[in-house]
Amino acid sequence: MAAMLSSELGNAEKITHFVGECEAMGLKVLGPDVNESREMFTPVGEKIRFGLAGVKGVGELAAQKIIAEREVAGPFTSFDNFMNRVDGRAINKRVLEHLVKTGAFDFSGAPRKRLFEGIDAAMSAVAAHARDKAAGQHSFMDMMLEEPPTKYANAASAPGSENLKSQISNSSSVADPIPNRKSQIENSTEDFSSVDRLAFEKELLGFYVSGHPMNLYAGLADALDPFPVDALMQQPDRTEFRLCGIASGITKKLSKKDNRPWAAFTIATRKASAALNLFADAYAAYGSTLAENALVLVQGNVLAGNDGPRLNIKECYPLDAKVAELVRKVTWLVHPVHPELPAFLRLMRDTLNAQPGSTRVEFAFVFENRAAPIAEASNALGWKLNAPTFQQLRAHPAVAGVQIETKRLELKQERRWAKRG
């Protein structure tokens, strides 16, 4: 199994493929951890732990140094403990940044952003500590750990030795050279946003560990997309489609015909990904919307050719704004006797008052697995739907489900100029 796992570290595409296979088999892939990861993917119980050498910018040498220290002296107890113990010649700033960004120190409970912002201070303090020791300037803790000069042949029998041993036994096995830095930031709980965390994971690991950006649009994207990604390529020529996802791998090119710019890119949903083309006319109109890791809604058609089908994009929009525009109606299926139903209805009324828009809202009671619509909110209480609020309402305990009605898929008509007589 180890050979199979190590072979998957060749490139990001292989990693993504391997992660997908693991998830299909019900095996969860965990991010890197300096206390559990080996160099390559490693089974941990019924889960798979990402290898340290697979983190972009870390490499085999740094991974080997970390693992060797852990095997000799035991697990790391904190980020500072790690800094004091691992050879700094193999662990540079870039390695530390990438390990922090991908959650390799999450076991410590410290926010990733706090650790990231403290890397420079930690490296400086460790370097200063090493210089002081090399120059013979021992710290107070170093002197405590040395055998004190005394007239007693046995230091353990010296007066006050019990207090000294107690202080030593209660201290870390490796002195913390940066206590001031810790005390200054230990109360900080600020962390990277979920968007930043996911972007770092995707960039440095090749997949998302702590979630997926499209989870925020669960239910909404399913209603908007007429075809699953894996079925899209099987559709007849000129079939129109709509697709919600994350744009990545954007490659800008120039048309051989007239030297106009166009772009090829990939869009990833929660379940699959597809290669798309934004040709010159569409690129001129929508190219500014297309950015790496941007959440987008694209519309286009399938072009069937001798070389196989291609997905031609004619329109590209920011996903959040387009969702609010395209969802016509949301029907909330609720439990009629649930004790939290009044609270849900009050929350819904507050939401409609705070976020007026054009999406209609309807309620239906669920009786013995059957839904009976009974009420539609006034047109004056239209909702400007947004994904975070939708997910909050959807997760309410009084909600049994939701039905979404979207606007019909219609591509903009291309402007064609009449030929002169």
* 202-219 pLDDT, tens digit each: 889 888 888 888 999 999
What tokens appear for 326 in the block? 């395209």
Reported as half-sphere exposure (CB side, CA atoms, 13 A), residue 127 has a value of 11
Query: Percent of the chain beyond pLDDT 90?
Result: 53
| Fold agreement (2-139+175-204, 216-322) | no
351/413: higher pLDDT: 351
What is residue 173's predicted lDDT score, i.e. its pLDDT? 38
pLDDT tens, 359-382? 999 999 988 767 677 777 777 789
Residue whose entry in the numeric block shows the structure tokens 């095997």: 71
User: What is the token pair recorded at 86?
Assistant: 């691992």
Under 8 Å between Cβ of 151 and 92: no
pLDDT average, residue stretch 262-283:
90
Highest mean pLDDT among 54-58, 84-88, 157-161, 413-417: 54-58
392 φ, ψ (degrees, to nearest 5): -65, -45
Contact 181, 121 (CB under 8 A): yes
What is this structure's pTM?
A: 0.68
pLDDT of the residue at 164: 34
SS3 42: strand
Report pLDDT for 353: 93
List the domain boundaries for the chain: 2-139+175-204, 216-322, 323-406
Average pLDDT, integer, range 65-87: 94
pLDDT at 11: 55
Residue 178 has which token pair? 């940066």
Please report the pLDDT score of residue 165 as a whole number.
37
Report the CATH fold assignment for 2-139+175-204.
DNA polymerase; domain 1 (1.10.150)
Selected residue with higher pLDDT from 387 and 228: 387
Which position has the higher pLDDT, 45 or 322?
A: 322
Residue 167 pLDDT class (50, 70, 90 cuts): very low
Residues above pLDDT 70, as percent of the chain: 79
DSSP string of 306-362?
TT--EEEEEEEEEHHHHHHHHEEEEEEEE-TT-TTHHHHHHHHHHHHHHSEEEEEEE
The SS3 assignment for 11 reads coil
Apex 57 CA angle, 54 and 62, nearest 5: 75
pLDDT at 100: 97
- Residues near 48 by beta carbon (within 8 Å), at least 6 away in sequence: 5, 22, 27, 28, 29, 30, 41, 42
Residues with Cβ within 8 Å of 126's Cβ and at least 6 positions away in sequence, in order, are 83, 84, 88, 177, 178
Determine if residue 219 is left, alpha or beta; phi over 0 gives left, psi from -120 to 50 gives alpha, anything else beta. left
pLDDT at 166 > cutoff 60: no
Q: Quick one: average pLDDT of 302-327?
A: 91
Please give the Cα distance from 328 to 13 (Å, whole number). 38
Superfamily name with CATH number, domain 216-322: Nucleic acid-binding proteins (2.40.50.140)
